[in-house]
Amino acid sequence: MNLLLLPGMDGTGDLFQFFTPHLPSVLQPQVVRYPTDRFLDYPQLLDYVREAAPTDEPYVIFAESMSTPLAVQFAATQPRGLAAVVLCVGFVTSPVGQWARRVPGALARLFFGMPTTEIICRHYLAGPGAPLQMVQAVRSATGRVAPSVMAERLRIILACDARAALRDVTVPMMYLQADGDNLVGARCGAEIIAHRPQTDLVQLRGPHLLAQREPHQTADAVLAFLRRHGL
């Protein structure tokens, strides 16, 4: 089974290097990488994923963070070959409070123009005790993306609303929640379950970068989910 991996906010797909080596052989990973030098909104990314998706065999989508509303919207179109969707530490509406929606674009560009500090990386992304190699990889991935692109990605995250699309998803879906996530709270998972009660909810111990810090647990959860649904 092909596993189409949709990355988080950096969009590089580089951070999947900590996850893919731990996948069982029955899952063949295919990493989707978004442009680092130009911004694509969710409708444009939808076309981007459509072009990347396999056309001649079944596949599963594994979407992280920023890509989770995109995965829901894509699945709602009921594309040929899609067998299941895994939403990892994701959301279908803004994962932060209303106040953040008023952050000026210029301020966001200024913030993303500065290197991601180790403190921010550990607190919001990789979690306490993250290996230095992972922290450096996160800083490298975010540093590769133009600040204006990161700022625009933040804008579409804060304005996203994929709740209606949940009703049109017909394939099995699982939501992976990290109990130590300081970026996407439990409310986001609860909202998805409220709008699509048949979604499998699995909570794992770990930070926002769940698949990177807990690759074995994450891979095991994905495999168990697929087996529960006869895939």
- The pLDDT of residue 115: 56
Contact 203, 177 (CB under 8 A): yes
Position 128, amino acid: P
* Residue carrying the six token digits 């990355």: 7
- The vertex-21 CA angle with 70 and 180, nearest 5°, equals 60
CATH number of 2-228: 3.40.50.1820
Q: Report the chain's C-alpha Rg in angstroms.
A: 16
Could you read off the pLDDT of 189-224 as tens digits, one per residue?
999 999 999 999 999 999 999 999 999 999 999 999
Please state the length of the chain: 231
Report the DSSP beta bridge partners of residue 61. Answer: 4, 85
Tokens found for residue 171:
């394939």
Could you read off the pLDDT of 91-116 as tens digits, one per residue?
999 888 654 555 544 444 444 444 56
Tokens found for residue 98:
């209303």
| Residue of 210, 221, 182 whose CA lies nearest to 27 | 221
Instruction: Please tell me the number of Cα atoms within 13 Å of 176 on its side-chain side.
Output: 30
CB atoms within 10 A of CB 25: 5
Contact 135, 126 (CB under 8 A): yes
Could you read off the pLDDT of 18-27 as tens digits, one per residue?
999 999 999 9
| Residue of 87, 83, 55, 64 whose CA lies nearest to 166 | 87
Phi then psi for residue 71, to 5 deg, are -60, -40
Could you read off the pLDDT of 120-156 as tens digits, one per residue?
888 889 999 999 999 999 999 999 999 889 888 988 9
- The pLDDT of residue 155: 86
> CA-to-CA distance for 80 and 216, rounded, in angstroms?
29
> CA-to-CA distance for 156 and 41, rounded, in angstroms?
7
- The vertex-44 CA angle with 81 and 108, nearest 5°, equals 130
Q: List the chain domain ranges.
A: 2-228
| Residue of 69, 48, 71, 73 whose CA lies nearest to 60 | 71
Contact 90, 177 (CB under 8 A): no
